[in-house]
Chains A and B, each alone.
Chain A
Amino acid sequence: MDDLLSEFLTETNESLAELDVELVQLEQNPNDQELLGNIFRLMHTIKGTCGFLGLPRLESVAHAGENVLGKVRDGEIEVTPEAVTLILESIDQIRVLLEQLEATEAEPEGEDTDLIARLNAFADGGGAAAATPAEESAAAPAEAAAEPAEADAAEAPGDAAGGDSGEVSLDELEAAFQAAKGPEELAAEAAAAEADEKAEDASAEAAPEEAPAAAAESKPEAKAEPAPAKPAPAPAKAKAKEAAPAADGKKEGSVANQSLRVNVDVLENLMTMVSELVLTRNQLLQILRSQSESEFAAPLQRLNHVVSELQEGVMATRMQPIGNAWAKLPRIVRDLAHELDKKIDLVMKGAETELDRQVLELIKDPLTHMVRNSADHGLEEPADRLAAGKPETGTVILNAFHEGGHIIIEISDDGKGLSSEKIKKKCIDNGLVTEADLETMTEQQIQQIIFKAGFSTAAEVTSVSGRGVGMDVVRTNIEKIGGTIELTSVEGRGTKFVIKIPLTLAIVSALIVECACERFAIPQLSVVELVRASAHTEHTIERINDTPVLRLRNRLLPLVNLRDLLKLEKAAGLRCGEAAAEPVQAPVEVSAEAPAEAPAETAAEQVPAADAGEADSQAAAAGPEEEDDVFVVVAQIGNYSMGIIVDRVFDTEEIVVKPVAPILRDIQLFSGNTILGDGSVVMILDPNGIAASTGEISVVEGNEDAVKDRSTASRGDSVAMLVFRAVDDTPKAVPLALVARLEEIDLAQVEFSNGQYVVQYRGQLMPLILMEPGQQLESEGRQPVLVFVDRNRTMGLVVKEIVDIVEDRMNIELSSDRAGYIGTAVIGEKATDVIDAGYYLTQAFHDWFAAERGKSEEEGSGRRLLLVDDSPFFRNLLQPLLTVSGYEVVCAESADAAFELCEAGEDFDVIISDIEMPGMDGFEFAKKVTSDSRWADVPMVALSSFTNASDLERGRNAGFKDYVAKTDRDALLNTLQDTLTDLRGAA
């Protein structure tokens, strides 16, 4: 293709995309002159270039569009949705023409008379509305006459001059005229005169300097004419406004010269080369590591840095703001809103977040699809919204940000949410899932069904969505680039999708693991943590009917053994060391006895027989004890967590993902292969594929936790208690949620400082607290410790042994006045002392709580109390304390959660609320509660870490009855007492 033409196409397409966005903005801010000026300029440039390249059809459409814009700019036509629609239509038409131009390299035949006529009619008609009728009647026909005259004029000199220089100057001339065009059109004679002038100028000898001259000439003339006709200074003003953007335009132009258009292929190639360079560098560094002293060390270090920088540099060239992928969305949403008769607000946050071009391209379509879905299916009709007590205008929020080497994109709407009932019905209708299966599924799981193929919730297929290519395609596309998608939805409140994708596809960080002497790479993106499981640590792999599971932080983690999954079982009849040293044929040899078709095991069984004597590790691996000492890679795929059992874990390595050979593409467990630093090839495992092969579809309890947390509410909830023994044999218990970790510390590491035992733990000094005063620690051996963490403070409680974790209702039957104990409860059918973690916290840090624990066991007499606090730590701390004082405590983690309880019809005698909370803070919460909710009369007590006079004042203004320091528990109990007494007195 002609360079000039391809340049034109790229540039014009960019301008069109910009126009799309800006027009939609204009519709929202009709008075933004600067924006309008810019739009006009863009349209004008398109027209000008079309004329310059001799594309009359395009030019005429652009010209007609520009006409309307000109009138808008001059304030003759108001910015109405109709006007914008019409202009958008002309842009679409230009786009269509461009597409054909790109395909055929020639302007398509035909005319756009209809569109042009409508644009012209609008320009005239719209003008009539703004101008006085008398004036308009004269102007309209005159203008009509002027236009063809102008067009003729433009063409004639072009032919006459015949040379490029002539045409260029003509273009500029045209631009100059354009500046004076508004008034010109008002006065038909002026326009005609100008047209003549133009013809003369251009055909005579079109030197560029003449252009401004001509403009200058025509300007006063044009200005003079409308002045008497229209007293308003509008045109003059409009012109002044336009002058500024024009100047801006020049400045931008010079900036644009600083950048260079580079073909994407060039960049792609560059990236590939750099990837190879990175690999080679890794290889060199690996060699270097194995040599204690080498003269290559220094230059290699230098090379290392240069390559890293080069890699970053090349990556940077490929980075583009995600806003580029969003550019079309305002237009799409606007059109949708019109088509569906909804009011939709599209909020885009973090548009400047950068990500790799390749990734950007791949997520563009899924994103568009999802935004459409949100607007179409998610948001309700305005009437329904009003009925549901929501604002008429629905909001779709796009939010992008970086988080730990990934890009997170959230798409949320405040629409009707996903209806489980509808999904269920649809599933049964479509036969996707059986009714019986649905019965056993959780809400979460049901919602995930929308990611299945052949599912679309829209009752009727609209022109925008619901064609059955739905979320499954979105999911597949996102997974293809190693991303994950999660969904949360509350019926009646909206839906939120969270997409997590890697920054770049070319180079990823991967964890190298080993299983059955083979190494594999697992993309770091999906690895959450590593757990070492052996009989000697707290993590032991247990089996339910041969299915391995792991208890991890009070949850069961489903496990898959990579060995079984990859059928590696016994195939490796050699020790790892040998296998590595063995050349090529090792694997081939193993299957030597087997005919080609026979499964690998047949061959394998024979091999260990020969090797049995020496391969004791092998023998061990055969039995269930194989998990004696293994690693569990905890992977997160969407909402689903799963553990992958591997033999060994090496370090992480930057790898360049290469596609596997076509023969192997249908093995879904691999996403590619790569060459490691030592030059060997490893397969890259695809966690999505692994999850799929274990029969999971990203569905699982993963999110139930969050759901459960949110409504720690409901009374009599069972609480997980950690049961342990400290000094004597009486079992002691503490709510598990309070305990951050269970650790075993080496007593040799314990130091004595400032009157207490301390140990260095995760880069901090952690005080160790003994249950009994005067107790002494042994000087060596290992000691189990319960680690409590709040904010950045850590404390270890020394215990004798950890007995069990029991899930039970926390029912304290005997309250205790022993310091450090809350009371006695029956846990696991045994009388157990429930310890007061708060007491020990103050022992570790005297300022952890301001006051010593008092003995304020005033009876709360079964009063219901709502505790709103975002910190699970304090919720868990206060709940038992308040419970033991006789209150029935319900917790909520946020103001929103509290309102949900309000809506659910819960009633309380008193509300305690934290002040510093994410989202709605305590003051706002109190205001809202006291002003318009069922709970308006419920007394509220504020709870905060800070108390000073102004806070107190603010709290009272917001509607709090009292204000208590979070750490002052006596005060809290007293205040509650007082508040309730007041209430009783008042009643």
Chain B
Amino acid sequence: MSNGEQNSAETEQGAEDGAFAETEDFVTFVIADQLFGIPVLKVQDVLSAHNITRIPLAPPEIAGSLNLRGRIVTAMDVRLRLGLPSRRESVSMSIVAEHDGELYSLMVDSVGEVLALDGSAFERNPPTLDPKIRDYSVGIYRLDDKLLVVLDVNRLLDYERVQAA
């Protein structure tokens, strides 16, 4: 497990450098018609709709918490985290990722397939990218028909960094 994390951390590192040729697997998902990806090794689970307990006084993007096989998972609406308007349709899917020993469920519009992406198709964030997305994005993959934004789960879930900044 720790090995896997290390690997993914390394590959991410590589991804940032934009200088590796091997392929990496990404779980893809869509938010507001934009395709995003998270390294597959980061993902623990993919959930469909689940009973969520609201948490009063929590930041607005924290949708609540849920019970995933006896573990308490904090659900975050990635739309709100990215500063996008929240979705109207009620059904969504979630990707469960671990950060600092805690499980988080990232609520997205829909989860797509797992893609193996070639490092050569990677590019750093274009400087003109919307700052809200740029904050949490590692870089962009050029796919044949569209672009995939690689989300940085650590930054997405690291509130201390934001507070410190």
Q: Which residues of A contact B (CB under 8 A)?
A: 276, 279-280, 518-519, 566-568, 583-589, 591-592, 594-598, 600, 658, 660-664, 667, 669-670, 673-675, 679-683
Set of chain A residues within 8 Å of B86, measured between Cβ atoms: 588, 591-592, 594, 596
Set of chain A residues within 8 Å of B58, measured between Cβ atoms: 663-664, 667
Set of chain B residues within 8 Å of A587, measured between Cβ atoms: 52, 54, 63-64
Which of B72, B88, B159 interacts with A663 by CB under 8 Å?
B159
Indicate if the CB atoms of A588 and B77 lie closer than 8 Å.
yes
Which of A280, A595, A673 interacts with B70 by CB under 8 Å?
A280
Query: A600 CB to closest chain B CB, in angstroms?
Result: 8
* Contact flag A566-B50 (CB < 8 Å), given A584-B75, A588-B77: no
Q: B33 in the interface, Cβ–Cβ < 8 Å?
A: no
Quick one: which of A566, A658, A661, A679 has the most chain B CB within 10 A? A661
Q: B120 in the interface, Cβ–Cβ < 8 Å?
A: no
**Main SS at interface, chain B:** loop
Indicate if the CB atoms of B60 and A596 lie closer than 8 Å.
yes
Set of chain A residues within 8 Å of B52, measured between Cβ atoms: 583-584, 586-587
Q: B56 in the interface, Cβ–Cβ < 8 Å?
A: yes
Which of B50, B53, B87 interacts with A583 by CB under 8 Å?
B50
Indicate if the CB atoms of B54 and A585 lie closer than 8 Å.
no
Indicate if the CB atoms of A588 and B107 lie closer than 8 Å.
yes
Q: How far is the CA of A674 from the CA of B71 in the complex (A)?
A: 9
Q: B65 in the interface, Cβ–Cβ < 8 Å?
A: yes
Indicate if the CB atoms of A584 and B50 lie closer than 8 Å.
yes
Indicate if the CB atoms of A664 and B55 lie closer than 8 Å.
yes
- Tally of contacts, chain A with chain B, CB under 8 A: 110
Set of chain B residues within 8 Å of A595, measured between Cβ atoms: 85
Query: A650 CB to closest chain B CB, in angstroms?
Result: 15
Q: List 20 A-B contacts (CB under 8 A).
A: A518-B54, A583-B51, A583-B91, A584-B92, A585-B91, A587-B64, A591-B86, A596-B61, A597-B60, A598-B60, A658-B72, A661-B102, A662-B100, A662-B102, A662-B160, A663-B74, A663-B159, A681-B64, A683-B53, A683-B56
The 6 closest A-B pairs by CB, nearest first: A566-B56, A661-B74, A583-B49, A585-B90, A681-B53, A587-B54
Indicate if the CB atoms of B65 and A681 lie closer than 8 Å.
yes
Q: Which residues of B contact A (CB under 8 A)?
A: 49-67, 70, 72, 74-75, 77, 80, 83, 85-88, 90-92, 100, 102, 104, 107, 157, 159-160
Indicate if the CB atoms of B60 and A667 lie closer than 8 Å.
no
Known: A518-B56, A584-B75, A595-B85. 19 other contacts (CB 8 A): A566-B56, A583-B50, A584-B92, A585-B90, A587-B52, A587-B54, A592-B87, A592-B88, A596-B85, A597-B60, A600-B60, A658-B72, A660-B65, A661-B65, A661-B104, A669-B56, A680-B51, A681-B53, A683-B53
Q: How far is the CA of A664 from the CA of B58 in the complex (A)?
A: 6
Set of chain A residues within 8 Å of B54, measured between Cβ atoms: 518, 587
Query: A134 CB to closest chain B CB, in angstroms?
Result: 74
> Closest residue of chain B to A683, judged by CB?
B55
Q: How far is the CA of A596 from the CA of B62 in the complex (A)?
A: 11
Q: How far is the CA of A567 from the CA of B58 in the complex (A)?
A: 10
Quick one: which of B72, B107, B160 has the most chain A CB within 10 A? B72
Which of B56, B62, B63 interacts with A567 by CB under 8 Å?
B56
Quick one: which of B53, B66, B88 has the most chain A CB within 10 A? B53
Set of chain B residues within 8 Å of A663, measured between Cβ atoms: 58-59, 62, 74, 157, 159
Set of chain B residues within 8 Å of A279, measured between Cβ atoms: 70
Indicate if the CB atoms of A567 and B61 lie closer than 8 Å.
no
Q: How far is the CA of A718 from the CA of B90 in the complex (A)?
A: 64
> Closest residue of chain B to A517, judged by CB?
B54
Set of chain B residues within 8 Å of A600, measured between Cβ atoms: 60
Q: How far is the CA of A279 from the CA of B72 in the complex (A)?
A: 12
> Closest residue of chain B to A664, judged by CB?
B58
Q: How far is the CA of A683 from the CA of B67 in the complex (A)?
A: 12
Set of chain B residues within 8 Å of A662, measured between Cβ atoms: 100, 102, 159-160
* Contact flag A566-B57 (CB < 8 Å), given A662-B159, A663-B62: yes
* Contact flag A276-B70 (CB < 8 Å), given A596-B83, A597-B60, A661-B102: yes
Quick one: which of A279, A566, A585, A662 has the most chain B CB within 10 A? A585
